[in-house]
Amino acid sequence: MKEAVANAAVEFLVPQLSENTIIGIGTGSTANLFIAALAKYKNKIAATVASSFVSEEKLKAHQINVIELNETTQVDFYIDGADESNHQLQLIKGGGGALTREKIIASAAKEFLCIADESKLVNQLGAFPLPIEVIPMASNYVSREIIKLGGNPILRKNQKTDNGNVILDINDFVIEDPTSIETALNMISGVVTNGLFSLRPADKLFLGTASGSVSELHTKQ
Ligand code: 5RP
């Protein structure tokens, strides 16, 4: 399923590629399959921007050009997986811990294509524990504030982000209004980024199904 959506995203992109195209690249197993599928077209684009050290290494292993986000004023497309998506294409991301760089590149991109298998589509976000990147010295304070919002934060063991921070995974969180929760979490001092992508949802969701077909959901026409 993941391979089928990765290929579908590449097929969608190919007719739109030019020597100036800059593509933002997500992190995770689905993004890795996208990188492998994109490799064939590496000479048809200007460069990519990676959302993690791991993705940067994978891109370079395929001899795909990688630049820093600060080196460009334009990101034409951002392609990434998700841990959950609702029908409005609001997402939970950060299962792999790369949420901050992912959110920055998604925000900078003109078009955000999410690629996922059908198990990721849900009616309400929150069954997947919501990842929050936190400045290490603030983790206990942030945890107490999250408990006040109704969540149950658990410090992710043995993982530091590419930015040197820690991750809290919020369990048992009822996310009825993703935008209010995303905003409320952003207001807690010490939170770097939360894994809700509702203020900047995906524009298109390519969903792989068990039968091998890929369906497309859109937020704008
Ligand atoms: C990494 C992410 C990933 O997109 C998310 O965890 C999905 O991963 P996968 O494609 O392996 O299912 O947000 O921080």
Instruction: Report whether residue 27 contacts ligand 1, using a CB cutoff of 6 Å.
Output: yes
Per-residue pLDDT of the chain (221 residues; tens, 9 = 90+): 999 999 999 999 999 999 999 999 999 999 999 999 999 999 999 999 999 999 999 999 999 999 999 999 999 999 999 999 999 999 999 999 999 999 999 999 999 999 999 999 999 999 999 999 999 999 999 999 999 999 999 999 999 999 999 999 999 999 999 999 999 999 999 999 999 999 999 999 999 998 889 999 998 64
Ligand 1 centroid, distance to 204 Cα (angstroms): 16
Whether 138 contacts 82, CB under 8 Å: no
Ligand 1 centroid, distance to 97 Cα (angstroms): 8
Give DSSP secondary structure letters for 1-50: -HHHHHHHHHHHHGGG--TT-EEEE--SHHHHHHHHHHGGGGGGSSEEEE
At 17, give phi and psi (nearest 5°): -80, 145
Tokens of 210: 């068990």
Instruction: Report whether residue 96 contacts ligand 1, using a CB cutoff of 6 Å.
Output: yes
E strands along 65-119, which residues? 75-80, 84-85, 91-92, 109-117
Hey, which CATH number is domain 130-195, 3.30.2010.10, 3.30.70.260, 3.40.50.1470, 3.30.420.40? Answer: 3.30.70.260
- Of 3, 93, 122, the residue with max ligand 1 atoms within 8 A of its CB, to mutate for a pocket test, comes to 93
Query: Where in the sequence of the chain do the CATH 3.40.50.1360 domains occur?
Result: 2-123+199-218
Kindly tell me the sign of the dihedral angle through the C-alpha atoms of 174, 214, 75, 203.
negative
Total-model pTM: 0.96
Hey, which CATH number is domain 2-123+199-218, 3.40.50.1360, 3.40.1410.10, 3.40.50.2300, 3.40.50.150? Answer: 3.40.50.1360
Amino acid at 164: G
Query: Where in the sequence of the chain do the CATH 3.30.70.260 domains occur?
Result: 130-195
